[in-house]
Amino acid sequence: MGELIKRAIDTIKAEFNSYSTGVKIALGVMFFLTAGFVIFGIQILFWGLGYTDMSNLYPFGQWIIGDLGLVSLGGGAFTTGFALYIFRNDKLEPIINSTVLIGFLCYLFTFIFLVFDIGQPLRAWFGYTYPNWGEHLMPTSMLTEVIWCLTLYFMILCVEIVPVALKHKVLDAIPALHYVGHYLHRIMWILAAAGTFLSFFHQGSLGGGMWDIMYGKAVWFRAHHIYFFVVIIGATAGGTAFMTLCAYLAGKVMKKEVVPAETFHSIAKISGILFVAFFIARLVDVVLMATRWVPLFDRSYISLQGGLYGLWLLVLEFLLLAVVIVMLLPKKNREQEKRFLIGIIAGVAAITTDKLITVLNGSSVPNFPWRDYIWYWPTIQEWFIMLGGLSVMAMIYMWCAKYLPLFPHAEKHAHHEGKSQAVAE
Protein backbone atom coordinates (compact mmCIF):
# COMPACT_ATOMS: atom_id res chain seq x y z
CA MET A 1 0.00 0.00 0.00
CA GLY A 2 2.80 2.40 0.90
CA GLU A 3 4.58 1.63 -2.37
CA LEU A 4 1.36 2.33 -4.30
CA ILE A 5 0.94 5.71 -2.61
CA LYS A 6 4.57 6.57 -3.31
CA ARG A 7 4.19 5.72 -6.98
CA ALA A 8 1.01 7.82 -7.16
CA ILE A 9 2.83 10.80 -5.58
CA ASP A 10 5.76 10.39 -7.98
CA THR A 11 3.37 10.28 -10.93
CA ILE A 12 1.65 13.48 -9.78
CA LYS A 13 5.01 15.21 -9.31
CA ALA A 14 6.18 14.13 -12.75
CA GLU A 15 2.93 15.34 -14.28
CA PHE A 16 3.20 18.72 -12.54
CA ASN A 17 6.86 19.18 -13.48
CA SER A 18 6.10 18.47 -17.14
CA TYR A 19 4.41 21.87 -17.50
CA SER A 20 5.91 25.28 -18.07
CA THR A 21 6.24 27.81 -15.25
CA GLY A 22 3.18 29.75 -16.38
CA VAL A 23 1.01 26.63 -16.47
CA LYS A 24 2.32 25.57 -13.04
CA ILE A 25 1.24 28.92 -11.58
CA ALA A 26 -2.18 28.60 -13.21
CA LEU A 27 -2.53 25.05 -11.87
CA GLY A 28 -1.58 26.23 -8.38
CA VAL A 29 -4.31 28.88 -8.48
CA MET A 30 -6.86 26.36 -9.79
CA PHE A 31 -5.94 23.82 -7.08
CA PHE A 32 -6.44 26.54 -4.46
CA LEU A 33 -9.86 27.45 -5.87
CA THR A 34 -10.79 23.77 -6.10
CA ALA A 35 -9.90 23.26 -2.42
CA GLY A 36 -12.16 26.21 -1.57
CA PHE A 37 -14.88 24.69 -3.74
CA VAL A 38 -14.75 21.45 -1.73
CA ILE A 39 -14.63 23.15 1.70
CA PHE A 40 -17.36 25.71 1.08
CA GLY A 41 -19.42 23.25 -0.93
CA ILE A 42 -19.65 20.99 2.11
CA GLN A 43 -20.57 24.01 4.23
CA ILE A 44 -23.42 25.05 1.91
CA LEU A 45 -24.77 21.50 1.52
CA PHE A 46 -24.84 20.83 5.26
CA TRP A 47 -25.63 24.27 6.68
CA GLY A 48 -27.70 25.84 3.90
CA LEU A 49 -27.94 29.01 1.83
CA GLY A 50 -27.67 31.31 4.84
CA TYR A 51 -23.98 31.65 3.97
CA THR A 52 -24.86 33.34 0.67
CA ASP A 53 -26.00 36.92 0.03
CA MET A 54 -29.22 35.69 -1.61
CA SER A 55 -32.57 36.50 -0.03
CA ASN A 56 -36.31 36.38 -0.69
CA LEU A 57 -35.92 39.70 -2.52
CA TYR A 58 -32.86 38.43 -4.43
CA PRO A 59 -33.44 34.67 -4.89
CA PHE A 60 -31.17 34.36 -7.93
CA GLY A 61 -27.45 34.80 -7.45
CA GLN A 62 -24.07 33.99 -8.83
CA TRP A 63 -24.70 30.28 -9.33
CA ILE A 64 -27.75 30.85 -11.50
CA ILE A 65 -25.66 33.28 -13.56
CA GLY A 66 -23.14 30.46 -13.91
CA ASP A 67 -25.89 28.04 -14.93
CA LEU A 68 -27.32 30.40 -17.53
CA GLY A 69 -23.86 31.26 -18.83
CA LEU A 70 -22.64 27.66 -19.04
CA VAL A 71 -25.79 26.45 -20.78
CA SER A 72 -25.68 29.34 -23.25
CA LEU A 73 -21.95 29.01 -24.00
CA GLY A 74 -22.28 25.22 -24.08
CA GLY A 75 -24.79 25.76 -26.89
CA GLY A 76 -21.83 25.91 -29.24
CA ALA A 77 -21.70 22.11 -29.04
CA PHE A 78 -25.07 21.58 -30.69
CA THR A 79 -24.47 24.46 -33.14
CA THR A 80 -21.13 23.06 -34.29
CA GLY A 81 -22.47 19.50 -34.42
CA PHE A 82 -25.47 20.59 -36.46
CA ALA A 83 -23.29 22.53 -38.91
CA LEU A 84 -20.94 19.56 -39.30
CA TYR A 85 -23.28 16.56 -39.42
CA ILE A 86 -26.42 18.11 -40.94
CA PHE A 87 -25.07 20.93 -43.14
CA ARG A 88 -21.89 18.94 -43.86
CA ASN A 89 -19.43 21.74 -43.14
CA ASP A 90 -16.42 19.41 -43.09
CA LYS A 91 -14.06 22.24 -42.15
CA LEU A 92 -15.39 21.90 -38.59
CA GLU A 93 -14.29 18.25 -38.25
CA PRO A 94 -10.98 19.06 -36.48
CA ILE A 95 -12.75 20.96 -33.70
CA ILE A 96 -15.80 18.75 -33.11
CA ASN A 97 -14.23 16.55 -30.39
CA SER A 98 -13.27 19.64 -28.42
CA THR A 99 -16.75 21.15 -28.73
CA VAL A 100 -18.42 17.94 -27.55
CA LEU A 101 -16.17 17.84 -24.47
CA ILE A 102 -16.80 21.52 -23.70
CA GLY A 103 -20.54 21.06 -24.09
CA PHE A 104 -20.41 18.01 -21.80
CA LEU A 105 -18.46 19.94 -19.14
CA CYS A 106 -20.74 22.99 -19.38
CA TYR A 107 -23.85 20.91 -18.81
CA LEU A 108 -22.21 18.74 -16.14
CA PHE A 109 -21.26 21.78 -14.07
CA THR A 110 -24.64 23.36 -14.70
CA PHE A 111 -26.11 20.43 -12.76
CA ILE A 112 -23.38 20.71 -10.11
CA PHE A 113 -24.11 24.41 -9.54
CA LEU A 114 -27.83 23.63 -9.42
CA VAL A 115 -27.19 21.18 -6.58
CA PHE A 116 -26.03 24.13 -4.50
CA ASP A 117 -28.49 26.62 -5.94
CA ILE A 118 -31.72 24.77 -5.14
CA GLY A 119 -31.00 24.84 -1.41
CA GLN A 120 -32.34 21.35 -0.72
CA PRO A 121 -30.56 18.89 -3.07
CA LEU A 122 -32.52 15.94 -1.65
CA ARG A 123 -35.59 17.41 -3.33
CA ALA A 124 -33.96 17.77 -6.74
CA TRP A 125 -36.23 15.05 -8.10
CA PHE A 126 -39.24 17.36 -7.57
CA GLY A 127 -38.25 19.19 -10.74
CA TYR A 128 -38.90 16.05 -12.80
CA THR A 129 -42.11 14.92 -11.15
CA TYR A 130 -44.08 18.05 -10.19
CA PRO A 131 -44.97 19.93 -13.38
CA ASN A 132 -47.70 22.02 -11.65
CA TRP A 133 -50.71 20.45 -13.32
CA GLY A 134 -53.06 23.12 -14.63
CA GLU A 135 -56.39 23.17 -16.42
CA HIS A 136 -57.28 19.92 -18.19
CA LEU A 137 -54.21 18.30 -16.61
CA MET A 138 -51.78 20.34 -18.70
CA PRO A 139 -48.35 20.93 -17.12
CA THR A 140 -47.72 24.62 -16.51
CA SER A 141 -44.21 24.60 -15.04
CA MET A 142 -41.60 25.79 -17.52
CA LEU A 143 -38.87 24.55 -15.19
CA THR A 144 -40.12 20.98 -15.65
CA GLU A 145 -39.64 21.30 -19.40
CA VAL A 146 -36.23 22.90 -18.83
CA ILE A 147 -34.94 20.20 -16.48
CA TRP A 148 -36.13 17.36 -18.73
CA CYS A 149 -34.58 18.92 -21.84
CA LEU A 150 -31.35 19.63 -19.98
CA THR A 151 -31.16 16.07 -18.71
CA LEU A 152 -31.94 14.44 -22.05
CA TYR A 153 -29.45 16.62 -23.90
CA PHE A 154 -26.81 15.90 -21.27
CA MET A 155 -27.43 12.18 -21.85
CA ILE A 156 -26.88 12.77 -25.58
CA LEU A 157 -23.60 14.54 -24.80
CA CYS A 158 -22.58 11.56 -22.64
CA VAL A 159 -23.09 9.29 -25.66
CA GLU A 160 -21.35 11.72 -28.02
CA ILE A 161 -18.24 11.90 -25.85
CA VAL A 162 -17.79 8.10 -25.75
CA PRO A 163 -16.26 7.88 -29.27
CA VAL A 164 -13.79 10.61 -28.33
CA ALA A 165 -12.51 8.56 -25.39
CA LEU A 166 -12.54 5.32 -27.42
CA LYS A 167 -10.20 6.88 -30.00
CA HIS A 168 -7.37 6.69 -27.52
CA LYS A 169 -4.75 4.38 -29.01
CA VAL A 170 -4.93 1.92 -26.09
CA LEU A 171 -8.73 1.60 -26.23
CA ASP A 172 -8.90 1.73 -30.01
CA ALA A 173 -6.62 -1.31 -30.18
CA ILE A 174 -9.39 -3.42 -28.55
CA PRO A 175 -11.58 -4.70 -31.44
CA ALA A 176 -14.91 -4.52 -29.55
CA LEU A 177 -14.31 -0.95 -28.40
CA HIS A 178 -13.09 0.04 -31.85
CA TYR A 179 -16.36 -1.26 -33.34
CA VAL A 180 -18.46 0.58 -30.72
CA GLY A 181 -16.63 3.86 -31.38
CA HIS A 182 -16.95 3.43 -35.15
CA TYR A 183 -20.68 2.64 -34.93
CA LEU A 184 -21.40 5.60 -32.65
CA HIS A 185 -19.53 7.88 -35.05
CA ARG A 186 -21.77 6.72 -37.91
CA ILE A 187 -24.99 7.59 -36.06
CA MET A 188 -23.66 10.90 -34.77
CA TRP A 189 -25.86 12.87 -37.18
CA ILE A 190 -28.94 11.47 -35.40
CA LEU A 191 -27.60 12.58 -32.03
CA ALA A 192 -26.72 16.00 -33.46
CA ALA A 193 -30.27 16.46 -34.76
CA ALA A 194 -31.84 15.29 -31.49
CA GLY A 195 -29.47 17.47 -29.48
CA THR A 196 -30.35 20.53 -31.58
CA PHE A 197 -34.07 19.88 -31.07
CA LEU A 198 -33.72 19.57 -27.30
CA SER A 199 -31.27 22.47 -27.03
CA PHE A 200 -33.56 24.89 -28.80
CA PHE A 201 -36.24 24.30 -26.17
CA HIS A 202 -34.15 24.50 -23.03
CA GLN A 203 -31.97 27.35 -24.32
CA GLY A 204 -35.03 29.45 -24.96
CA SER A 205 -36.93 28.35 -21.86
CA LEU A 206 -34.11 28.64 -19.32
CA GLY A 207 -32.58 31.82 -20.73
CA GLY A 208 -35.71 33.61 -21.92
CA GLY A 209 -39.10 32.00 -21.46
CA MET A 210 -38.63 31.45 -17.74
CA TRP A 211 -38.27 35.21 -17.25
CA ASP A 212 -40.54 36.84 -19.83
CA ILE A 213 -43.69 35.12 -18.50
CA MET A 214 -43.38 36.98 -15.17
CA TYR A 215 -46.12 39.53 -15.78
CA GLY A 216 -45.62 41.02 -12.31
CA LYS A 217 -42.08 42.14 -13.16
CA ALA A 218 -41.81 45.04 -15.60
CA VAL A 219 -38.11 44.46 -16.30
CA TRP A 220 -38.67 40.85 -17.43
CA PHE A 221 -42.14 40.64 -18.94
CA ARG A 222 -42.45 40.31 -22.71
CA ALA A 223 -45.61 39.15 -24.44
CA HIS A 224 -45.50 36.29 -26.96
CA HIS A 225 -42.18 34.92 -25.61
CA ILE A 226 -40.07 37.31 -27.69
CA TYR A 227 -37.03 36.79 -25.48
CA PHE A 228 -37.31 33.01 -25.90
CA PHE A 229 -36.08 33.32 -29.49
CA VAL A 230 -33.56 36.07 -28.76
CA VAL A 231 -31.80 33.80 -26.27
CA ILE A 232 -31.65 30.87 -28.71
CA ILE A 233 -29.89 33.07 -31.27
CA GLY A 234 -27.52 34.33 -28.56
CA ALA A 235 -26.64 30.78 -27.49
CA THR A 236 -25.72 29.74 -31.03
CA ALA A 237 -23.60 32.88 -31.48
CA GLY A 238 -21.86 32.96 -28.11
CA GLY A 239 -21.45 29.19 -27.99
CA THR A 240 -19.51 29.05 -31.25
CA ALA A 241 -17.27 31.90 -30.03
CA PHE A 242 -16.62 30.04 -26.77
CA MET A 243 -15.78 26.78 -28.54
CA THR A 244 -13.35 28.67 -30.76
CA LEU A 245 -11.73 30.44 -27.80
CA CYS A 246 -11.17 27.19 -25.88
CA ALA A 247 -9.52 25.50 -28.86
CA TYR A 248 -7.37 28.57 -29.53
CA LEU A 249 -6.16 28.70 -25.91
CA ALA A 250 -5.49 24.96 -25.94
CA GLY A 251 -3.19 25.44 -28.92
CA LYS A 252 -1.32 28.23 -27.16
CA VAL A 253 -0.85 26.19 -23.98
CA MET A 254 0.21 23.07 -25.90
CA LYS A 255 2.38 25.20 -28.24
CA LYS A 256 1.19 23.40 -31.35
CA GLU A 257 -1.35 23.78 -34.12
CA VAL A 258 -4.33 21.90 -32.70
CA VAL A 259 -6.82 23.16 -35.29
CA PRO A 260 -6.06 24.31 -38.86
CA ALA A 261 -6.53 27.98 -39.63
CA GLU A 262 -9.34 27.29 -42.09
CA THR A 263 -11.38 25.67 -39.30
CA PHE A 264 -10.96 28.73 -37.09
CA HIS A 265 -11.89 31.01 -39.97
CA SER A 266 -14.97 28.93 -40.84
CA ILE A 267 -16.37 28.82 -37.30
CA ALA A 268 -15.49 32.49 -36.78
CA LYS A 269 -17.50 33.36 -39.90
CA ILE A 270 -20.46 31.36 -38.58
CA SER A 271 -20.16 33.10 -35.22
CA GLY A 272 -19.96 36.54 -36.86
CA ILE A 273 -23.12 35.95 -38.90
CA LEU A 274 -24.97 34.67 -35.84
CA PHE A 275 -23.88 37.70 -33.83
CA VAL A 276 -25.34 39.99 -36.49
CA ALA A 277 -28.64 38.14 -36.05
CA PHE A 278 -28.35 38.40 -32.27
CA PHE A 279 -27.54 42.12 -32.43
CA ILE A 280 -30.66 42.78 -34.50
CA ALA A 281 -32.84 40.52 -32.32
CA ARG A 282 -31.56 42.11 -29.10
CA LEU A 283 -32.06 45.62 -30.49
CA VAL A 284 -35.63 44.78 -31.50
CA ASP A 285 -36.17 43.31 -28.04
CA VAL A 286 -35.00 46.52 -26.33
CA VAL A 287 -37.13 48.71 -28.63
CA LEU A 288 -40.24 46.61 -27.97
CA MET A 289 -39.57 46.69 -24.25
CA ALA A 290 -39.22 50.47 -24.31
CA THR A 291 -42.24 51.17 -26.53
CA ARG A 292 -44.75 48.41 -25.76
CA TRP A 293 -44.17 46.15 -22.77
CA VAL A 294 -42.72 48.38 -20.02
CA PRO A 295 -45.34 51.17 -20.59
CA LEU A 296 -48.00 48.58 -19.67
CA PHE A 297 -46.72 48.98 -16.11
CA ASP A 298 -46.91 52.81 -16.28
CA ARG A 299 -43.13 52.96 -16.14
CA SER A 300 -40.38 53.90 -18.56
CA TYR A 301 -37.69 51.54 -19.80
CA ILE A 302 -34.89 53.89 -18.78
CA SER A 303 -36.26 54.00 -15.21
CA LEU A 304 -35.55 50.25 -14.98
CA GLN A 305 -31.88 50.77 -15.81
CA GLY A 306 -30.82 52.30 -12.51
CA GLY A 307 -29.10 50.78 -9.52
CA LEU A 308 -25.75 49.04 -9.38
CA TYR A 309 -26.33 46.83 -12.44
CA GLY A 310 -28.24 49.21 -14.68
CA LEU A 311 -27.66 51.13 -17.89
CA TRP A 312 -23.90 50.62 -18.06
CA LEU A 313 -24.34 46.85 -18.48
CA LEU A 314 -26.77 47.36 -21.37
CA VAL A 315 -24.41 49.79 -23.10
CA LEU A 316 -21.50 47.40 -22.51
CA GLU A 317 -23.41 44.51 -24.11
CA PHE A 318 -24.11 46.44 -27.32
CA LEU A 319 -20.54 47.74 -27.48
CA LEU A 320 -19.23 44.18 -27.19
CA LEU A 321 -21.65 43.00 -29.88
CA ALA A 322 -20.41 45.75 -32.19
CA VAL A 323 -16.79 44.68 -31.58
CA VAL A 324 -17.64 41.05 -32.40
CA ILE A 325 -19.33 41.95 -35.66
CA VAL A 326 -16.51 44.26 -36.75
CA MET A 327 -13.82 41.70 -35.90
CA LEU A 328 -15.42 38.46 -37.11
CA LEU A 329 -17.67 39.33 -40.03
CA PRO A 330 -15.13 40.91 -42.47
CA LYS A 331 -12.82 38.24 -43.85
CA LYS A 332 -9.67 40.39 -43.54
CA ASN A 333 -10.30 40.89 -39.82
CA ARG A 334 -11.16 37.34 -38.77
CA GLU A 335 -8.11 36.01 -40.65
CA GLN A 336 -5.84 38.38 -38.69
CA GLU A 337 -4.98 36.60 -35.42
CA LYS A 338 -5.20 39.52 -32.97
CA ARG A 339 -8.50 40.77 -34.35
CA PHE A 340 -9.84 37.23 -34.46
CA LEU A 341 -8.93 36.77 -30.79
CA ILE A 342 -10.50 40.11 -29.81
CA GLY A 343 -13.66 39.08 -31.66
CA ILE A 344 -14.18 35.72 -29.97
CA ILE A 345 -13.34 37.11 -26.50
CA ALA A 346 -15.82 39.94 -27.05
CA GLY A 347 -18.42 37.38 -28.16
CA VAL A 348 -18.09 35.35 -24.98
CA ALA A 349 -18.15 38.55 -22.89
CA ALA A 350 -21.27 39.82 -24.70
CA ILE A 351 -23.31 36.70 -23.94
CA THR A 352 -22.05 36.67 -20.34
CA THR A 353 -23.06 40.33 -19.97
CA ASP A 354 -26.52 39.49 -21.32
CA LYS A 355 -26.94 36.94 -18.51
CA LEU A 356 -25.71 39.47 -15.94
CA ILE A 357 -28.37 41.90 -17.16
CA THR A 358 -31.11 39.29 -16.92
CA VAL A 359 -30.26 38.16 -13.39
CA LEU A 360 -28.52 41.07 -11.68
CA ASN A 361 -30.42 44.00 -13.12
CA GLY A 362 -33.68 42.07 -13.36
CA SER A 363 -33.61 41.02 -9.73
CA SER A 364 -32.46 44.43 -8.49
CA VAL A 365 -35.35 46.41 -10.03
CA PRO A 366 -38.11 46.98 -7.44
CA ASN A 367 -41.63 45.92 -8.38
CA PHE A 368 -42.93 49.35 -7.37
CA PRO A 369 -41.30 52.61 -8.51
CA TRP A 370 -41.31 54.16 -5.03
CA ARG A 371 -39.09 51.44 -3.61
CA ASP A 372 -35.29 51.41 -3.72
CA TYR A 373 -33.17 49.21 -5.95
CA ILE A 374 -31.92 46.01 -4.35
CA TRP A 375 -28.24 45.20 -4.44
CA TYR A 376 -26.42 41.88 -4.13
CA TRP A 377 -22.79 40.89 -3.79
CA PRO A 378 -21.71 37.22 -3.61
CA THR A 379 -20.13 35.98 -0.40
CA ILE A 380 -16.76 34.22 -0.33
CA GLN A 381 -18.59 30.88 -0.33
CA GLU A 382 -20.36 31.75 -3.56
CA TRP A 383 -17.15 32.99 -5.21
CA PHE A 384 -15.18 29.85 -4.32
CA ILE A 385 -17.91 27.44 -5.43
CA MET A 386 -18.28 29.28 -8.74
CA LEU A 387 -14.58 29.81 -9.50
CA GLY A 388 -13.61 26.42 -8.09
CA GLY A 389 -16.11 24.68 -10.36
CA LEU A 390 -14.80 26.56 -13.39
CA SER A 391 -11.24 25.62 -12.36
CA VAL A 392 -12.14 21.92 -12.29
CA MET A 393 -13.68 22.33 -15.75
CA ALA A 394 -10.49 23.93 -17.05
CA MET A 395 -8.26 21.19 -15.60
CA ILE A 396 -10.42 18.39 -17.01
CA TYR A 397 -10.34 20.01 -20.43
CA MET A 398 -6.57 20.51 -20.22
CA TRP A 399 -5.87 16.90 -19.32
CA CYS A 400 -8.29 15.56 -21.93
CA ALA A 401 -6.52 17.71 -24.53
CA LYS A 402 -3.22 16.20 -23.42
CA TYR A 403 -4.15 12.52 -23.11
CA LEU A 404 -7.13 12.02 -25.44
CA PRO A 405 -7.28 12.51 -29.22
CA LEU A 406 -9.22 15.74 -28.72
CA PHE A 407 -7.47 17.38 -31.64
CA PRO A 408 -6.72 14.79 -34.37
CA HIS A 409 -5.16 17.52 -36.53
CA ALA A 410 -2.52 18.19 -33.85
CA GLU A 411 -1.42 14.54 -33.92
CA LYS A 412 -1.28 14.47 -37.72
CA HIS A 413 0.57 17.78 -37.76
CA ALA A 414 3.11 16.52 -35.23
CA HIS A 415 3.49 13.26 -37.17
CA HIS A 416 4.20 15.12 -40.42
CA GLU A 417 6.67 17.40 -38.66
CA GLY A 418 8.44 14.37 -37.22
CA LYS A 419 8.69 12.75 -40.66
CA SER A 420 9.98 15.97 -42.21
CA GLN A 421 12.59 16.33 -39.49
CA ALA A 422 13.68 12.71 -39.95
CA VAL A 423 14.02 13.22 -43.72
CA ALA A 424 16.02 16.39 -43.15
CA GLU A 425 18.38 14.58 -40.79
Q: Which residues pair with 139 in a beta bridge?
A: 133
Count the residues in the chain. Answer: 425
> Phi, psi at residue 133, to the nearest 5°?
-60, 130
Query: Is the per-residue pLDDT at 209 higher than 70?
Result: yes
Average pLDDT over residues 279-296: 95
pLDDT tier at 420, thresholds 50, 70, 90: very low
Q: Mean pLDDT lowest for which of 91-95, 273-277, 392-396, 404-408? A: 404-408
Query: Quick check: 133 pLDDT over 50?
Result: yes
Q: Which residues of 123-159 are buried (b: 16+ CB within 10 A; e: fewer)?
A: eeeebeeebeeeeeeeeeebebbbbbbbbbbbebbee
Out of 217-226, 265-274, 330-339, 415-424, which region has the weakest mean confidence (pLDDT)? 415-424
Which CATH number is correct for 22-407, 1.20.120.1750, 1.20.1630.10, 3.30.200.20, 1.20.120.1200? 1.20.1630.10
Structural Rg of the chain based on CA atoms:
23
Name the average pLDDT for the chain: 88
* Rounded Cα distance, 403 and 346, in Å: 30
Average pLDDT score over residue span 180-185: 84
| pLDDT 10s digits, 1-33 | 677 777 877 777 887 787 888 888 999 999 999
Asked if residues 83 and 192 have their Cβ atoms less than 8 Å apart, the reply is no
The 10s digit of each residue's pLDDT in 297-349 is: 999 999 999 889 999 999 999 999 999 999 999 999 999 999 999 999 999 99
- Give pLDDT, residue 422: 39
